[in-house]
């Protein structure tokens, strides 16, 4: 097996003749699964992603792609149903946030393997927010999933992440479409993905939940499963018009992101902008992975065709 440095050299040599891309992946919860479809379209059409800058879900998807394990992540996330998602929620029971995030991070580390950002074959930047100093932080070295965990710490949802003496929260708080880190790149194109774009005119319908296979659960295991399923139906039901704390927090955060994203994009125009409508999914709808991935692929097709003509 070649060493990591040799792999990186082979990668650069084998792709040097393809059109290179700096890819900016924005924040937006489950809508970030559209990033997978966009990456797949770029790869299918001969583009070489040489650099990735990501905030929140953009950092998660971009980091996993840079580590070479996006197919594994796609297969896993597409297998999740409504209540499967809830099984990864580890409640913090503190005033800093609803969830600790350790369970999902442990799952991703097991799936991808821990690696240092500086050893990845693709330049990668995770954007987070230093909440005490009120400034943007670009993480370009160190353990990949430390950077991802910091970047996804949505205030009120995930607890802040202590990293190198800083208290970090979601990068989308200050920069939901982090184009600026790509200014140092020497690539042919900068392509940015905005997950907080104008709402689409067509009203979507939420697909019915996939029925679960019956399992021989007994005793307390069956009761725990029934309890989690009940929470899932209450939390994720699209028919309930009332806003709970979780929904109110995420919608408030998204409202702020919409305004900031518009300002950032107008100030730092990429070569191509791929807009994902903000009503294409709610922040927590990870059970709609296949639909959102297909949406990303389709939007990339449309934007790249229009953007290159």
Domain 18-200+253-306 annotated CATH 3.40.50.300: no
CB distance 143 to 81 below 8 Å:
no
Q: Which of 130, 170, 185, 275 is catalytic?
A: 170
Q: Which of 84-93, 145-154, 218-227, 245-254 has the highest mean pLDDT?
A: 145-154
pLDDT tens per residue, range 179-226: 999 999 999 999 999 999 988 765 444 444 433 343 444 454 454 445
pLDDT higher than threshold 90 for residue 108: yes
pLDDT higher than threshold 80 for residue 254: no
Tell me the pLDDT of the chain averaged across its residues: 82
pLDDT higher than threshold 90 for residue 143: yes
Asked whether the whole model's pTM tops 0.85, one would answer no
pLDDT score for 209: 41
How far, in Å, CA of 63 to CA of 61, rounded? Answer: 6
Q: Mean per-residue pLDDT for 97-117?
A: 89
44 is a catalytic site residue = no
pLDDT score for 7: 40
275 is a catalytic site residue = no
Band (154; pLDDT cuts 50, 70, 90): confident
How far, in Å, CA of 208 to CA of 237, rounded? Answer: 11
Band (84; pLDDT cuts 50, 70, 90): confident
Q: Which of 27, 56, 280, 281 is catalytic?
A: 56
pLDDT higher than threshold 80 for residue 240: no
Instruction: Give me the phi and psi of 186, to 5 degrees please.
Output: -110, 75
pLDDT higher than threshold 80 for residue 228: no
Q: Mean per-residue pLDDT for 117-141?
A: 97
Question: What residue spans define the domains of the chain?
Answer: 18-200+253-306
Least confident piece of the model among 143-147, 175-179, 210-214: 210-214
């Amino acid at each position: 097996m070649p060493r990591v440095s040799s792999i990186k050299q082979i990668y650069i040599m084998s792709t040097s003749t393809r059109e290179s891309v700096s890819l900016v992946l924005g924040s937006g919860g489950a809508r970030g699964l559209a990033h997978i479809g966009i990456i797949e379209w770029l790869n299918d059409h001969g583009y070489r992603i040489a650099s990735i800058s990501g905030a929140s879900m953009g950092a998660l998807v971009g980091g996993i792609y840079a580590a070479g394990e996006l197919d594994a992540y796609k297969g896993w996330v597409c297998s999740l149903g409504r209540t499967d998602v809830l099984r990864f929620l580890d409640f913090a029971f503190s005033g800093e946030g609803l969830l600790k995030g350790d369970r999902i991070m442990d799952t991703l580390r097991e799936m991808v393997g821990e690696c240092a950002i500086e050893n990845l074959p693709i330049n990668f930047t995770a954007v987070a927010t230093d909440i005490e100093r009120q400034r943007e932080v670009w993480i370009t070295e160190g353990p990949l999933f430390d950077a991802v965990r910091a970047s996804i710490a949505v205030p009120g949802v995930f607890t802040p992440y202590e990293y190198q003496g800083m208290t970090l929260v979601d990068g989308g708080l200050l920069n939901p479409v982090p184009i600026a880190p790509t200014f140092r790149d020497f690539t042919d194109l900068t392509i940015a993905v905005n997950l907080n774009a104008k709402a689409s005119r067509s009203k979507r319908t939420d697909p019915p939940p996939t029925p679960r296979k019956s399992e021989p659960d007994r005793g307390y295991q069956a009761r725990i499963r029934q309890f989690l399923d009940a929470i899932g139906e209450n939390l994720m039901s699209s028919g309930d018009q009332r806003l709970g704390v979780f929904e109110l927090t995420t919608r408030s955060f998204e409202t702020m992101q919409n305004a900031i994203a518009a300002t950032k994009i107008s100030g730092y125009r990429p070569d191509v902008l791929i807009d994902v409508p903000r009503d294409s999914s709610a922040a927590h709808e990870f059970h709609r992975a296949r639909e959102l991935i297909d949406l990303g692929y389709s939007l990339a097709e449309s934007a790249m065709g229009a953007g290159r003509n």
